[in-house]
């Protein structure tokens, strides 16, 4: 039986309704919301035969365990891919993966997933321990990307990186102290971008399994970027290289 999840926020609920309406049991909406956004969502739910229940705004926020924007959906957890093999065996371009090592903040994870979706990442990998799960907070921060990007957790990240290497996937790690620049990395072939948690960075064993370490050139006073900002910068460079090399298929 599928695991039940609560999704809150207009972007996240609208995305789930657009892509996987069959997974939604019911949408609870603040009865005081009479703006165009609420009306559009209610109409979209009606078109998809999804039930909308009007409720007290405080109750809706209570369901979301925080600010909900006045909308919460009760839904089944969807499975975009069972494992990495399923993702890799169905690609029409060189694999582009993102590996998050030690990212435990749900807002950072959500923002990373959003960047992953924007730049056509095929899957996001993370260790089962020391990482954020796909909570309602993550889904809200991801603004729908959690429903489009496979997020796969693995028991042993080092072993997974070794498996990726055996498949011919280049492991590119990010490190503030790395002498090589992000622009020197080759993303035109199959590649996995590895990012560590802000401050702590990648764990030692993860770092040792990277084929190359690169840093983002910094020209201001700050010495590092938030992991989700770093993800966006690195993935933009990856897509820029692939577009110039003609190795991109656009949106999946």
pLDDT at residue 16 greater than cutoff 70:
yes
Dist. CA 26–CA 23, nearest whole Å: 9
Nearest to 170 by CA among 153, 159, 185, 149: 185
pLDDT at residue 250 greater than cutoff 80:
no
> pLDDT digits over 167-199, tens only?
999 999 999 889 999 999 999 999 999 999 877
Instruction: Tell me what percent of the residues of the chain surpass a pLDDT of 90.
Output: 65
> pLDDT digits over 92-119, tens only?
899 999 999 999 999 999 999 999 999 9
* Structural domains of the chain, with CATH: 4-76 (3.30.1330.30), 84-245 (3.40.1280.10)
Q: Tokens 């498996």 map to which residue?
A: 163
Predicted TM-score of the model (pTM): 0.80
Rounded to 10 deg, the angle between the 10-19 and 36-47 helix axes is 20
Instruction: Tell me what percent of the residues of the chain surpass a pLDDT of 70.
Output: 98
* Kind plus residue range of the DSSP H or E element containing 234: helix 227-245
**Helices of type H across 21-105:** 36-47, 57-64, 84-88
């Amino acid at each position: 039986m599928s695991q039940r999840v609560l999704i809150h926020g207009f972007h996240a609920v609208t995305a789930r309704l657009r892509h996987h309406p069959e997974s939604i049991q019911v949408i609870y909406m603040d009865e005081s919301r009479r703006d165009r956004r609420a009306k559009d969502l209610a109409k979209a739910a009606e078109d998809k035969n999804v039930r909308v229940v009007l409720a007290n705004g405080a109750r809706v926020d209570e369901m979301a365990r925080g600010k909900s924007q006045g909308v919460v959906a009760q839904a089944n957890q969807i499975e975009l891919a069972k494992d990495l093999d399923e993702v890799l065996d169905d690609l029409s371009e060189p694999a582009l993966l993102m590996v998050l090592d030690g990212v435990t903040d749900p807002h950072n994870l959500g923002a990373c997933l959003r960047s992953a979706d924007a730049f056509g990442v095929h899957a996001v990998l993370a260790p089962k321990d020391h990482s954020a799960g796909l909570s309602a907070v993550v889904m809200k921060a991801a603004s729908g990307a959690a429903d489009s990007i496979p997020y796969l957790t693995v028991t042993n990240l080092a072993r997974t990186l070794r498996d990726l290497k055996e498949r011919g996937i280049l492991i590119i790690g990010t490190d503030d102290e790395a002498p090589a620049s992000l622009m020197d990395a080759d993303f035109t072939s199959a590649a996995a971008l590895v990012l560590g948690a802000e401050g702590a960075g990648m764990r030692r064993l993860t770092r040792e399994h990277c084929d190359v370490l690169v840093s983002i050139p910094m020209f201001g006073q700050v010495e590092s970027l938030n992991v989700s900002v770093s993800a966006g910068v690195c993935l933009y460079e990856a897509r820029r290289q692939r577009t110039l090399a003609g190795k991109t298929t656009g949106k999946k």
